[in-house]
Amino acid sequence: MRRSAWAGLLALALALAATSNAQLQRQLPANGKLGQLIGQQHPFPLVQFNNQVLRLAPGGRIYDEHNRTILHGFLPEHAHVLIVQDMSGNVALIYLLRPEELLLLQNAGNR
């Protein structure tokens, strides 16, 4: 390869490395409820949100702090979460929150 091609590949690799370390802010739903999840207390499809035991909706999704989907069995024992319920009251979405997201939502005060 030519030196310019190697230089281009090196520049691309450095740019990718720099952006991969940056934490992307995810878009959280505006209609969510903020609270605490107490995991591993109830069998699937039940989850405990604050003092309520709720059912995970069919097709309900759980997102971890890095926005990856996880299974019910991998829920942490305690976590601050944002949940979205469907029209029947089942939990359609659960977002495990990072500390900066929790602060942002608490400061917003509308949840």
**Dist. CA 4–CA 104, nearest whole Å:** 45
Task: Answer yes or no: are the C-beta atoms of 55 and 86 closer than 8 Å.
Answer: no
Q: Which domain holds residue 58?
A: 31-108
Number of domains in the chain: 1
Comparison of pLDDT for 64 and 14, the residue scoring more: 64
Is residue 73 in a domain?
yes
Structure tokens at 69: 């989907």
Is residue 43 in a domain?
yes
Find the mean pLDDT for residues 102-106: 89
Structure tokens at 90: 């089942």
Contacts of residue 76, Cβ cutoff 8 Å, sequence gap at least 6: 37, 39, 40, 96
At 101, the pLDDT band (50, 70, 90 cuts) reads very high
Question: Can you give the pLDDT at residue 14?
Answer: 61
- Per-residue pLDDT reduced to its tens digit, 33-88: 999 998 777 888 899 999 999 999 999 999 999 999 999 989 998 999 999 999 99
For residue 44, the domain's CATH number is 2.40.50
Is residue 16 in a domain?
no
